[in-house]
């Protein structure tokens, strides 16, 4: 095959990849004044091997909330940075969903070291432990206490039990307990409870409330 043809195929592939964000019809919903900047950020993230769907979702969320174009661009840029930090902490094999959950945890106040420790402690996916960590901190549990509680449970606790753990902490806080001690007490309770009891497990295929 002549060399120009051999050169053309990779060029076409790269061009198709680079223009993927521009071709995503959802981008048309984003305010016109910020569209080009959002596309550039998404393309840049894709080039860096970061997941781009969370960036698109952030832009769409800002659009639905009637945020200004400037705020949308700043938020997307901020999230792209957090995704990069999450990947540094969780390692390159982390899934896109793990990176997104890691970015949320970092933003809520978790340290990169906590994310790396979670990765070492748990063989299963880290999405739910990271989400629980984020929610605990959002509930007022200090970052250190939240990290200690989640790390204590992460190695052996199923996702459903981690969610139940978070609900128990939130309930105790709503009843007046201090957030830090509430997390520690619930972690002790859950780590002592048999995991196969099903007491906090999945409830089948019935529709459930969050």
**Residues at the site binding another protein, with contacts judged by CB under 8 A:** 1-2, 4-5, 9, 13, 16-17, 20, 26, 29, 51-54, 56-57, 60-65, 67, 71, 74-75, 78, 95-97, 100-101, 104, 124-125, 127-128, 130-132, 134-135, 138-139, 158-163, 166, 170, 202, 205-210
Given a contact cutoff of 8 angstroms between Cβ atoms, the answer to whether 53 and 42 are in contact is no
Residue 194: which region, alpha, beta or left (left: phi > 0; alpha: psi -120 to 50)?
A: beta
Q: Please state, in angstroms and as integers, the Cα–Cα distance from residue 201 to each residue in 62, 126, 134, 164, 167, following that order.
A: 35, 18, 21, 8, 13
What's the closest the beta carbon of residue 37 comes to another protein, in angstroms? 15
SS3 assignment, position 113: helix
d(CA 150, CA 19): 40
The distance of closest approach from Cβ of residue 191 to another protein in the complex, given in angstroms and rounded to an integer, is: 17
Q: DSSP character for 207?
A: -
Q: Least CB distance from residue 177 to another protein, whole Å?
A: 16
- Non-local (6+) Cβ contacts of 34 within 8 A are 59, 69, 70, 72, 73
CB of 101 to another protein, least distance (A): 5
Nearest to another protein of 101, 184 (CB atom): 101
Considering the complex, what minimum distance in angstroms separates the CB of residue 32 from another protein? 18
- Quote the CA–CA distance of 146 and 93 in Å, as a whole number: 25
């Amino acid at each position: 095959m002549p060399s120009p043809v051999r050169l053309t195929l990779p060029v076409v592939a790269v061009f198709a990849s680079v223009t993927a964000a521009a071709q995503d019809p959802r981008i048309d919903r984003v305010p016109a004044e910020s569209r080009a900047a959002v596309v550039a950020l998404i393309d840049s993230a894709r080039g860096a091997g970061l997941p781009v769907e969370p960036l698109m979702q952030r832009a769409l969320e800002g659009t639905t909330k009637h945020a200004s174009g400037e705020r949308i661009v700043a938020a997307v840029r901020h999230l792209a940075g957090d995704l990069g930090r999450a990947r540094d902490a969780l390692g390159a094999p982390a899934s896109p969903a793990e990176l997104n959950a890691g970015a949320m945890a970092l933003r809520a106040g978790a340290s990169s070291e906590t994310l790396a420790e979670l990765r070492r402690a748990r063989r299963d996916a880290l999405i739910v432990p990271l989400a629980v960590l984020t929610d605990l901190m959002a509930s007022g549990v200090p970052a250190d206490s939240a990290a200690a509680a989640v790390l204590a449970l992460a190695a052996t606790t199923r996702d459903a039990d981690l969610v139940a753990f978070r609900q128990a902490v939130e309930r105790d806080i709503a009843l007046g307990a201090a957030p830090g001690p509430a997390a520690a007490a619930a972690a002790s309770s859950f780590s002592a409870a048999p995991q196969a009891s099903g007491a906090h497990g999945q409830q089948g295929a019935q529709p459930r409330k969050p």
